[in-house]
Structure formats: C-alpha cells, structure tokens
C-alpha cells in the first residue's frame, strides 16, 4: 500500500510564541495519526477512525480559541483578530463537510490528509507567522494598527503574495466543496423523496390489488392468502381458527326488483354493517368478499362460541339496516344466512377443510329457511 506523506516540521514553522508552537506540534501529531489510520485501511465508518478525527477536530477548536484569546490579550488589531476568527470558523466548517462527504469522495484518504497538511502549512506560514510578528511589534511598543499596516507591506513581498494566492485558491476550493455538499444533500433529499413516493405508490397499489373495488373490503385473492397464512400459524400454535360464510338472502330477487345499481348499494351497506362489529374487536380479523353476494369472515384464535357470537352481532347489524326487500319470501327487509365453522388446524391438514365446513353450515342455513345462523359440527 502507498505510504501516506506526513507533515514534516522545520524551523520555518516556528512562530516563537511557545504556547502556539506547542499547539502546532500537537496538531501535526494528530494530523499524522489520522493519516496513519486512513492509510492503514481502516473502514471509513470505523470507530477508530472516527475517534482519531474527533480528537483532531476537538483539538483544532481548542487551539483556535486559545490563539484568539492570546491575540485579544496581546492587543492585536480588532480587524486582524476578526479575520483570524473567520478563517478559523471557515476551516472548522470545511473540515466537517469533507468528513461528512468522505464516502462519496474518490481517494478520500489522500484528499482529506492532503487537505489537512496543506491547510496547516498555510495556517502557520500565513496567518500565525503574521500574528506572531504583530505580537512582537506590539510588545515593543508599536501601536496595533501600525503593526498591522507594517505587516501589509512586509519586506518579503514574494512570500506574502504567494501565501495570498494560496489563500485565495483555498477559498475558491472551499466554496466549490460547499457547493458540492449542498448539491449532494439536495440529490439525497430528492432520492429520499422519490423513494418514499415510490413506496407509498407501491403500498397503494398493494392495497388496491388486495381490495374489492365495489365493497372496499378484502378481495378473494387477499382472503385466500390470509387463510393459508392463518392456517399455518394456527397449526404451529395449536389454536382454533374460525370462519363465517355470509350470504345475502334472495339477492337475485333484490336485483330483479330494484335494479343492479341498487343491488350494488345494498351489498356496500351489508359489507359496512358486517365490518362494524369487527372494527371494534381485533385487527387480525378479516372481512372479505368471497364472491357475488357472499362474504367471508376469518377469525384467527377464535373458538366456536366466539365465532357464533360474532355471527350474531353481524346478523343483527344487517337487520338493523332495514333495507326494504319486498320480494323476499323470508322477511320484508334484507337478511343474511350465516354458516360458522371452527377447526384446530394440523400441519397435515388443508385450509380447504375449513372452507368446506363453513360452506356446509351455510348450505344448511339456507336449507332450513334462510335468515339464520348454523354452526358446523363434526356430525
């Protein structure tokens, strides 16, 4: 693996202000340690790498605070102090942005470590050396403003111009990086928004594919899926599984008498009435359109007595609608016949057994004159 270039200290980086130089030495150490962690192949999300970065970022902020306090204490020009504070804040922000987007950066180890080395060199040779010269001038009795003006016309014009050019380039790159960060954040936000919209559309599509278009309850496809799943669950848990089959009495006569639109409205009202008792009970219960004017109610974990009680509630709710059915030989209003069945599924059994039992009970209810509930028995 290619070796990471480290920051090498020499006499050019010495400001002569002991606390500042000590902190610069510490920053060099932390930058090199982070570089070693990066080149060692540590995962970009590893705790070790994060700890190395946090230590560097925290110490840099500490250095900035103490450096700013030193300048204020020494009486450095307020104008220069404000510039120094702004540069410190920009670096902290830029470093945080680069760290946050390291996963999307090509060669993040080299880019991040190279940025830190270049920044520290520019920071010491530029702002901090200038600060040191002003501090020494002020200590010798030169007014802060005059020290700043003298710094602006420093004898080494070539070096000053080069540092100024590098600082300008740094500012441009910082702005570009900030723009990339914003663009990346906006892109991520759009991707998240579209992903959520797609998930919501899929959920709506799934709901539509599982619902009966006329009655707004589960369709036969969804009922079959749930019946198979609940059968397997009941077999594993050795719990009862109950099923109600509901048929609107003489519905063909209703359609012939009142017309198909009225027949649709009748089925919708019956479905709403049948669902009312279930809505007050458990979310696991399922009301579905089994076919035509026939509804099915799946009651997981419900014994025979419970299924009978639910059937009675549904029957009373439908009678309470008082929907006229003048051609019915059973009653002057719409009524239903209900067959109930309860089994404790076995691993070798089939859901068709429960369907057949409930259907046989419904057939018996019809044969006995309709408008009644019949429970399936083994006999």
- Residues with catalytic function: 293
CA atoms within 13 A on the CB side of 165: 6
Q: Which of 268, 246, 266 is nearest to 254 (CA)?
A: 266
Name the token pair of 356: 């057949």
List Cα–Cα distances, 161 to 74, 112, 174, 307, in angstroms: 26, 26, 20, 90
Q: Are 163 and 84 in contact (CB under 8 A)?
A: no
Q: Are 53 and 34 in contact (CB under 8 A)?
A: yes
Q: Are 217 and 275 in contact (CB under 8 A)?
A: yes
Strands, sheet with 294-300, edge to edge from the N-terminal-most edge strand? 286-291, 294-300, 241-248, 336-343, 373-375
Q: Are 14 and 21 in contact (CB under 8 A)?
A: yes
Count CB atoms within 10 A of the CB of residue 250. 22
Alpha-carbon dihedral sign for residues 168, 71, 12, 8: negative
- Pairing mode, strands 294-300 and 336-343: unpaired
- Angle, CA 15 vertex, CA 9 and CA 16 arms, to 5°: 110
Count CB atoms within 10 A of the CB of residue 81. 18
Q: Are 132 and 17 in contact (CB under 8 A)?
A: yes
- Angle, CA 237 vertex, CA 373 and CA 242 arms, to 5°: 10
Q: Are 303 and 339 in contact (CB under 8 A)?
A: no
- Angle, CA 311 vertex, CA 310 and CA 313 arms, to 5°: 65
C-alpha torsion 255→257→258→259, nearest 10: 50
């Amino acid at each position: 693996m290619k070796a990471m270039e480290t920051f090498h200290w020499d006499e050019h980086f010495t400001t002569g202000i002991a606390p500042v130089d000590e902190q610069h030495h510490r920053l060099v150490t932390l930058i090199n340690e982070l570089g070693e962690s990066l080149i060692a192949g540590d995962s970009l999300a590893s705790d070790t790498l994060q700890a190395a970065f946090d230590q560097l970022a925290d110490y840099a902020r500490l250095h900035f605070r103490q450096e700013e306090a030193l300048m204020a204490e020494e009486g450095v020009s307020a104008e220069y102090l404000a510039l120094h504070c702004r540069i410190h804040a920009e670096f902290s922000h830029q470093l945080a942005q680069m760290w946050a987007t390291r996963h999307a950066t090509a060669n993040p180890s080299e880019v991040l470590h190279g940025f830190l080395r270049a920044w520290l060199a520019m920071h010491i040779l530029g702002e901090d050396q200038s600060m040191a010269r002003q501090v020494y001038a002020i200590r010798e009795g030169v007014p802060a403003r005059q020290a700043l003006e003298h710094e602006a016309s420093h004898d080494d014009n070539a070096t000053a111009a080069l540092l100024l050019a590098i600082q300008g380039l740094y500012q441009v790159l910082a702005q570009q990086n900030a723009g990339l960060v914003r663009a990346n954040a906006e892109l991520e936000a759009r991707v998240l928004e579209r992903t959520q919209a797609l998930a919501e559309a899929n959920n709506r599509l799934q709901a539509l594919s599982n619902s009966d278009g006329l009655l707004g309850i589960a369709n036969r496809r969804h009922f079959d899926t749930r019946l198979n799943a609940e059968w397997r669950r009941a077999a594993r848990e050795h719990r009862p599984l109950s099923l109600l089959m509901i048929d609107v009495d003489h519905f063909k006569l209703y359609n012939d008498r009142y017309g198909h639109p009225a027949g649709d409205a009748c089925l919708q009202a019956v479905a709403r009435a049948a669902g009312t008792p279930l809505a007050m009970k458990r979310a696991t219960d399922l009301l579905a359109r089994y076919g035509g004017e026939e509804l099915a109610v799946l009651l997981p974990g419900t014994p025979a007595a419970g299924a009978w009680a639910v059937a009675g509630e549904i029957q009373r709710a439908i009678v309470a609608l008082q929907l006229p059915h003048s051609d019915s030989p059973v009653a002057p209003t719409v009524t239903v016949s209900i067959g109930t069945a309860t089994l404790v599924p076995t691993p070798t059994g089939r859901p068709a057994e429960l369907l057949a039992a409930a259907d046989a009970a419904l057939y018996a209810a019809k044969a006995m004159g309709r408008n009644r509930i019949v429970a399936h028995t083994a006999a």
